[in-house]
Amino acid sequence: MNAAAEAEFNILLATDSYKVTHYKQYPPNTSKVYSYFECREKKTENSKIRKVKYEETVFYGLQYILHKYLKGKVVTKEKIQEAKEVYREHFQDDVFNEKGWNYILEKYDGHLPIEVKAVPEGSVIPRGNVLFTVENTDPECYWLTNWVETILVQSWYPITVATNSREQKKILAKYLLETSGNLDGLEYKLHDFGYRGVSSQETAGIGASAHLVNFKGTDTVAGIALIKKYYGTKDPVPGYSVPAAEHSTITAWGKDHEKDAFEHIVTQFSSVPVSVVSDSYDIYNACEKTWGEDLRHLIVSRSTEAPLIIRPDSGNPLDTVLKVLDILGKKFPVTENSKGYKLLPPYLRVIQGDGVDINTLQEINVFKDPVADPNKRSKKGRLSLHRTPAGNFVTLEEGKGDLEEYGHVCIYADWGLFCFLNSNKFTFQIKKGGFFLEDKCYCKMFTIADLAYQNKMKNKKWLDNKYETFTLGEIFYKEKKNGVPYSYQKRVSELQ
């Protein structure tokens, strides 16, 4: 966040109201609260059949939340005063934990004494397994763990978008292989045009960045900015688009001059791909008469690198796309691929711009155990994620196993330690099958990179030379050596 945004955002006000009072509700002498996040596995009973849409989830988006909202000095005297006044009016009582927040300000200079451990972002994890954990690192701040739950749980949105996007990519990959025998261009087969369809600028950025975990085509610029700022990339951009018409740039010419509008646009963008929405009046007439006859000479003269992309934008996608392809197939030379399917010439393509979701795509292509709902059963104790000999994931409860076996590494701790996933070798560049394979999720990991730690991880076969480590300048790593915790200054000195 910039200085103005940092001053405006107040973590003391970014929680559910009832959590403000929870510091008074824990048992006396509570010193540690440990919480975890999972995408619940829907269990079935004999009397109930409950469907799970997807069996796996793509973990993505926590890094953005941590960097934007929890990194660095987030508690100040002014923010404490603001929260005190707001909650006094909100509750009509002095229930705010002013003493606790002043303690954090004085002892930690406004940095949050919590520790967050998570699997690497981009991991594909079966539902019902732990994704990240949170705990306080100062016994006086036991109440802080679940204070930040509210904002951390908002990672559900990027996780959901990335998961949906991956499932759609799997469908596209399946039919690409069946109809062409290869996955060429898969990363461009589903284009994000969701900017206008979400509730806010931030939602657009988060959702678009999650889409770019799996694809490279987007018109939602906010996602590009988010990735560059919070995930880093050496490439100019992680997502791409092409010049394209909208209905207003066609209808502005008038109904009798649609052909002139088409001709003007394709002439303006003769050396790059250009997409032209063609259903302002009659999509079928536009394809057969205008594109297929009147302007045919302009299309056939275009290069493979600069095709015309005709965009139907209304009607039933199932019917419209097939009819458009049939018309164009009669107006332009088609070839047949090795699978026996007809192909339009490389200078001509079709993109469906409306009515596409995962269903139409398939057609086109503290321990609790509620009796009433077994799906809300919480896991017990400290959790770790493990892989079975068969390659499946399982979460071990009650402190069993090694937390770091699959990479549940510390990504946030006192003074702002981050395990920073860089997009250059992260999901934006994954090639294997064009979609996530959990054992092929390459990423660059910025973490505590002293040789001993790195070797320790390699010896456990977790890194297996797929990950690189690098050190951030701003770190604070609490680790015991001979029973003595490292100090911030000593740790920085050793790493330098």
Residue 444 falls inside a structural domain: yes
Which CATH number belongs to the domain containing residue 292 in this structure? 3.20.20.70
Bridge-partner residues for 387, per DSSP?
Answer: 393
Residue 360 falls inside a structural domain: no
Question: Is residue 345 pLDDT above 80, yes or no?
Answer: yes
Residue 237 falls inside a structural domain: no
Say which residues have a Cβ less than 8 Å from residue 366's Cβ, sequence separation at least 6.
Answer: 378
Both 436 and 330 in one domain: the answer is no
Worst-scoring range by mean pLDDT, 50-64, 210-224, 421-435?
A: 421-435
221 residue type, one letter: V
Q: How many residues does the chain have?
A: 496
The string over 305-319, giving b where at least 16 C-beta atoms fall within 10 Å of a residue's C-beta and e elsewhere, is ebbbbbbbbebebee
Residue 195 falls inside a structural domain: no
Both 328 and 458 in one domain: the answer is no
**Alpha helices in 235-348, H assignment, sequence order:** 247-251, 258-268, 283-285, 296-300, 317-331
- Residues 308/348, Cβ–Cβ less than 8 Å: yes
Residue 130 falls inside a structural domain: yes
Q: How confident is the model at residue 356 (pLDDT cuts 50, 70, 90)?
A: confident
Question: Is residue 350 pLDDT above 50, yes or no?
Answer: yes
SS3 content of the chain, % helix, strand, coil (to 5): 40, 15, 45
Both 488 and 389 in one domain: the answer is yes
pLDDT of residue 5: 57
Residue 231 falls inside a structural domain: no
pLDDT of residue 388: 66
**Which of 322, 353, 384 corresponds to the end of one domain?**
353
Q: How confident is the model at residue 360 (pLDDT cuts 50, 70, 90)?
A: confident
Both 253 and 144 in one domain: the answer is no
Q: Based on the structure, what is the number of domains in the chain?
A: 2
DSSP E strands: which ranges in 330-424?
335-336, 342-343, 348-350, 384-387, 393-396, 409-412, 420-422
Residue 197 falls inside a structural domain: no
Both 52 and 85 in one domain: the answer is yes
Question: Is residue 479 pLDDT above 90, yes or no?
Answer: no
Both 334 and 380 in one domain: the answer is no
Please state, rounded to an integer, the average pLDDT across all residues of the chain.
Answer: 79
Both 39 and 142 in one domain: the answer is yes
- Residues 52/127, Cβ–Cβ less than 8 Å: yes
The C-alpha atoms of residue 477 and residue 452 are separated, in whole angstroms, by 14
The boundaries of the domain holding residue 460 are 3-150+372-423+432-495
Q: How confident is the model at residue 383 (pLDDT cuts 50, 70, 90)?
A: low
And the tokens for 63?
Answer: 């890094």
Both 385 and 491 in one domain: the answer is yes
pTM value is 0.75
Residue with tokens 């393509």: 349
Both 326 and 385 in one domain: the answer is no
Question: Is residue 118 pLDDT above 80, yes or no?
Answer: yes
Question: Is residue 398 pLDDT above 90, yes or no?
Answer: no
Q: How confident is the model at residue 416 (pLDDT cuts 50, 70, 90)?
A: very low
pLDDT of residue 41: 76
Both 105 and 7 in one domain: the answer is yes
Q: Name the residue with higher pLDDT: 420 or 176.
A: 176
Stretch 54-80: mean pLDDT: 96
Q: Name the residue with higher pLDDT: 444 or 61.
A: 61
Q: Name the residue with higher pLDDT: 113 or 392.
A: 113
Question: Is residue 285 pLDDT above 70, yes or no?
Answer: yes
Task: State the CB neighbour count (10 A cutoff) for residue 180.
Answer: 15
Residue 173 falls inside a structural domain: no
Backbone angles phi and psi of 198, in degrees to 5: -115, 175
Closest CA to 441 of 458, 456, 453, 429: 429
Both 7 and 45 in one domain: the answer is yes
Stretch 355-375: mean pLDDT: 55
Both 33 and 109 in one domain: the answer is yes
Q: Name the residue with higher pLDDT: 295 or 237.
A: 295
Q: How confident is the model at residue 2 (pLDDT cuts 50, 70, 90)?
A: low
